[in-house]
Structure 1
Amino acid sequence: MAVPTQQMEIERKYDAERDFVLPDLSRLPGVASVTAPRTYALVANYFDTADHRLAAHGVTLRRRRGGDDAGWHLKIPAGPDSKNELRAPLGRPQMVPARLAALVAWSTRGAELRPAAVLETTRTVIELLDDEGRVLAEVADDAVVGQVVLDGGEATAEATVPATAWREIEVELGPAGTPELLKAAGKRLRKAGARKGGSSSKLGRVLEPVMTVPFGGRPVSPELPEGSAGAAVIGYLAEQVAAVLSFDPKARLGEDDAVHQMRVAVRRIRSALRSFAPLLDARRVAPLEPELKWLADALGEVRDLEVLRMRFTDRLAEPHGFEVNGTPSWMNALAASEASAYRRMNAALKQSRYFDILDALEALLTHPPLSDRAERAAAKELPKLVGRQWKRLAKKYAAIATADDPEEARHDVRKAGKRVRYAADLAAAALDDIDKDAAAAASGTARKAKTLQKVLGGYQDGVIATTYLKEAAARRGTTPAEAFVLGALHGWERHEAFDSLSRLEETWERIA
């Protein structure tokens, strides 16, 4: 399946009256010349679910004819003034490209994509160029007529929602543009009579009469007592759920570090539900635990192989006493395993089980499962609960000395340390505006837990690496030269792993 082309779109929109005259933009910072205006007639058919789930998340999916970028366009928010735009060829009018549909599955969750609106735009474009002829920015002056499509059918004059017409000025940074230019252009447009755009999207303006929530305004949790422990926990969970949704399409595309960040967000949610369990209704929260673990494991397979590949790539690039010509067969095998893991991950992210998890997480935010204790002050409750996690960590550490399986015991300590760190991070952020001393104490606890986690992580990563290298050396087809390199790397990894382990006792004494 073809991967859609993508680019980062950084722009600002301004509303203007019909008689607005575009000011002279040739003297903006860095601008050497302005191209002659070009005019296009654009027709865009937007697609969404019947209940406008894409719009609720600030996402737009359209098939546009006309202009020099005709085709399917998927835009996903990436920041206050930026969007990640992915494109695909025009194809068939009513058939959304499968790859684009997959990238919004986190929002549609199995619901059908169908026509939602039609926008007809008369666009006049000029480009701002530097002294080398590079495009700094594109300024589009749009006269727009938009019509809601009801029940997935054709937009008609008899539709109950009237057509909407307006004029809009859009400034989009080019490859050589800077945020300073974007700001200066906006200032010049406002001085000439334009106003900051009332909507971040043309589609949002058209759908406003039929939207149950504002465009891009996901349902939020109800008002909770200010400064309460419950408000702090739900606010933190909302940030992590947003991170899961944000990194989902990036993980599907295999973008750098996306799987890792999505997995971390899932782990932080799991950790918060455990660490702050006394503030929550156990009956509602308990069913999420095995589901979040399943999701973390689905992401974890990719991430573990990704870490190994990057680790060995760096190792082979470092100075050593042997030469490696080309890419070793065992590295190719590792890359193939990672690609297979990505396919399994993407299959998991298409399952209704995953969509049910997302629904449950959003329900947790809109109808928080809080206990009576959650109404207590965060300044009192959060430090207690972080302290409880530290005591649990200390108990896990003490158990190493008498454990039948020290490896498993150390792994338990590492997981407990991670839970302390996440809980302390939550407390530090929540208490920063309430109690500076308590926030500082929580930050200190998080740093201590991270220090311990780093030592144990260094050991664990080395153990995983040596295991893989040993298996690769035993694989049929490994040449003597490759076996020598694998043996050298094995010794290197083993030395570093036990060097990390040797620092464990001293580290614990220092932080405990």
Structure 2
Amino acid sequence: MAERHLEIEQKYDAVPDFVLPDLDGIAGVAVVGEPEVHDLHASYFDTGDLRLAAHGITLRRRRGGTDAGWHLKMPAGPDGKHEMRAPLGRPLVVPARLAGLVAAYTRGEELRPVATLETRRTVVRLLAADGSELAEVADDMVTGRGTEAEPERWREIEVELKGGGSDLLKAVGKRLRKAGAKKGRSPSKLGRLLGEAVVPSRAAAARAAARARLAEATSNGKGPAVTTGEAVLAYLAKQIEAVLELDPKARLGEEDAVHRMRVAVRRLRSALRVYRPVLNAERTGPLGPELRWLAAVLGEVRDLEVLRMRFAEAPPFVVEDLEKRERAAYRRMNASLKEPRYFALLDELDRLVLDPPLSAAADRKARKELPALVTRAWERMAKEYASIKSAGDPDAARHETRKAAKRARYAAELAVPVLGVAAKRAAKGAKRIQEVLGGYQDGVIAMGHLEAAAARTKDPAEAFTLGALYGKERCQAESARDHLSTTWSQTLGPSF
């Protein structure tokens, strides 16, 4: 298992004869440690076209110092990085765990050495009165070599928080700048070394541009000038970003990451379906089955997560069985997220923003077109709800109503930047219907799990416990079901 933590640091450039200033007297710092010198050798890995560097990600194998091993750093805000570590292992074999965490970016391309850095590091630790470490100041003399470039030498200072806060980071930075250091021109040593060889991701730039165009227009009161295509494209860009951001977190099993990634996938599916009039069906049609496949892959894990949390206070034999099944589901999910099918889907999602599949209708004003599209999604939900009473299988009809409620909710969410309060109200109403039906559906799934468990056990005590849990779940599900009509009567439709 790879170790991980959040790294918060700032970098400063310094001339060769820079003198590290006195760091005594900074608020909260009781002791400035004696300098410690380390010689570090790091090999950096990336794809041939530097895909990781293009997204601000670094992957290295470093020898020397106190933290020798493999280090993977991924952006987490302006001064933060999520860092995952693994033992040194073999020099040219990237640990599978770390390689998997960047698979959404490498997409099957080989990771290979692209640069080496030799660093003479002088470390000064800043300690609190109780001896705990607040921050580490590293004075680095660096020699970097790319695969084809001449060696480059420079000096930089890194200030990394340990137990201290942002005020300490600012105070140390102020001392360094007063002594002549300047804010680092690159967020990483590798980025500085490779320079113009790192080409920014065109897809990431296109997503950012799509969202920025909509944000600028709506924030300046120019909502009527926004086209329907611009509103749809900005929403798609936001969901694609979420999928990529949550991919490594889902693989690591971070709390709620699988759920959030699954929701982003569902929002993409919903937008492509509800907003078909402004999209080229030949381009977007094939994405539907692939997004449904990905949602199912994530859904297996999520359903078991929900059951585990639902039965957290259940007897150990129930919880242990769910935990075992959940671990197996995570293994299957991670295997699926390594498949060429997944990488091909990500490539197609990139194409959505690089080459938007917009129809002629996309050029129409969003303020005029979006109300009808949102209303159509709501009416579809109302039709499904009305079918419950006469359905031969009411549970199936409720399930279809819930899916329609999600589509209505996501359709309204997309329209919020343009339509404002009216769209928010519609999204909130659809969400209420979705949640009531979701409570009923969760109960049905839980009862099914308990029935299957009861069929497997031969222990009368276990069977009795499972029966008691079943009764409780049935009561909760029926309560949610009976509350549906009341919720529906209190929910107003769109009023644009």
Smaller-chain TM-score range? over 0.9
1:485 aligned residue: 465
1:364 aligned residue: 352
TM-superposed deviation, 1:217 = 8.7
Question: Match of 1:460, SS?
Answer: helix
Matched, 1:30 2:28: yes
Contact 1:105–1:350 (CA under 8 A) maintained in structure 2: yes
Q: Which amino acid aligns with 1:443?
A: K
Unaligned stretches of 5+ in structure 1?
Answer: 150-158, 317-323, 432-437
Question: Match of 1:388, SS?
Answer: helix
Question: Match of 1:400, SS?
Answer: coil
Contact 2:258–2:298 (CA under 8 A) maintained in structure 1: yes
**In structure 2, what is the Cα distance between the partners aligned to 1:29 and 1:457?**
52
2:222 aligned residue: none
TM-superposed deviation, 1:346 = 1.2
- Aligned mate of 2:76, from 67, 75, 78: 78
- Over the residues paired in the alignment, what is the CA RMSD in angstroms? 1.9
2:297 aligned residue: 298
Question: 1:8-157 maps to which residues of 2 (within 5 A)?
Answer: 8-149=6-147
Cα deviation, 1:195-251, whole Å, max 9, x if unaligned, reads 22211111111122312227x993425677853322222222222112111221222
TM-superposed deviation, 1:339 = 1.4
2:185 aligned residue: 198
1:211 aligned residue: 198
2:486 aligned residue: 506
Q: Which amino acid aligns with 1:365?
A: V
Contact 1:219–1:366 (CA under 8 A) maintained in structure 2: no
TM-superposed deviation, 1:99 = 1.9
Question: Match of 1:203, SS?
Answer: helix
TM-score, structure 1 as length reference: 0.89
Percentage identity across aligned positions? 59
Matched, 1:343 2:331: yes
Q: Which amino acid aligns with 1:460?
A: Q
Q: 1:166 to 1:414 in 2, by over 3 A?
A: same
**In structure 1, what is the Cα distance between the partners aligned to 2:9 and 2:80?**
6
Contact 1:56–1:217 (CA under 8 A) maintained in structure 2: no
Question: Match of 1:140, SS?
Answer: strand
Q: 1:42 to 1:451 in 2, by over 3 A?
A: same
**In structure 2, what is the Cα distance between the partners aligned to 1:382 and 1:32?**
61
> Number of residues paired by the alignment?
479
Contact 1:400–1:406 (CA under 8 A) maintained in structure 2: yes
**In structure 2, what is the Cα distance between the partners aligned to 1:182 and 1:375?**
48
**In structure 2, what is the Cα distance between the partners aligned to 1:21 and 1:218?**
40
Contact 2:9–2:159 (CA under 8 A) maintained in structure 1: yes
**In structure 2, what is the Cα distance between the partners aligned to 1:29 and 1:217?**
44
Q: 1:494 to 1:13 in 2, by over 3 A?
A: same
Matched, 1:389 2:377: yes
Contact 2:37–2:123 (CA under 8 A) maintained in structure 1: yes
TM-superposed deviation, 1:191 = 3.2
**In structure 1, what is the Cα distance between the partners aligned to 2:126 and 2:376?**
59
Question: Match of 1:23, SS?
Answer: coil
Range with greater deviation from structure 2 (262-271 or 12-21): 12-21
2:420 aligned residue: 439
2:223 aligned residue: none
Contact 1:58–1:217 (CA under 8 A) maintained in structure 2: no
Q: 1:288 to 1:217 in 2, by over 3 A?
A: closer
**In structure 2, what is the Cα distance between the partners aligned to 1:241 and 1:29?**
43
State the 4+ residue runs in structure 1 displaced beyond 4 angstroms. 221-226
**In structure 1, what is the Cα distance between the partners aligned to 2:120 and 2:204?**
31
- Aligned mate of 2:155, from 142, 161, 167: 167
**In structure 2, what is the Cα distance between the partners aligned to 1:132 and 1:376?**
65
2:431 aligned residue: 450
**In structure 2, what is the Cα distance between the partners aligned to 1:357 and 1:308?**
29
2:270 aligned residue: 271
**In structure 1, what is the Cα distance between the partners aligned to 2:370 and 2:25?**
55
1:309 aligned residue: 308
2:246 aligned residue: 247
Contact 2:137–2:160 (CA under 8 A) maintained in structure 1: yes
Contact 1:56–1:218 (CA under 8 A) maintained in structure 2: no
**In structure 2, what is the Cα distance between the partners aligned to 1:127 and 1:228?**
55
